[in-house]
Amino acid sequence: MDTRNIVIALCLGLVAGWIASWVIPGQQNLIQYLISGVIGSFVGSFVLNKAGIDLGIRNEYARDIATATIGAIIVMVIAKILT
């Protein structure tokens, strides 16, 4: 993985965490957006893969953001339950 891919993954995670914060409100900052989005990308892809769900989005970046946002929402819900 080169530097460009890492930067793109971090940016996608940041956007996904920010979008997820609209659904699950709370006090968050850029670092929390980034963390929830990056972790959410793994969680979202795992959950969608296990459920056999294909989002049907052709654009790679849009699909990655949607997947990471779904995962970030799941991560935020679990975090709210545990705290």
Task: Supply angle C-alpha 75, 55, 37, rounded to 5.
Answer: 25
pLDDT confidence of residue 29: 86
- pLDDT averages per 10-residue partition of the chain, 83 residues: 85 92 84 90 94 93 93 92 88
pLDDT confidence of residue 1: 64
**How many distinct structural domains can be found in the chain?**
1
Dist CA 55 CA 78 (whole Å)? 23
User: What is the residue range of 37's domain?
Assistant: 3-82
Q: What are phi and psi of 10, to 5 degrees?
A: -65, -40
- Token pair 């080169």 is found at 2
pLDDT confidence of residue 52: 94
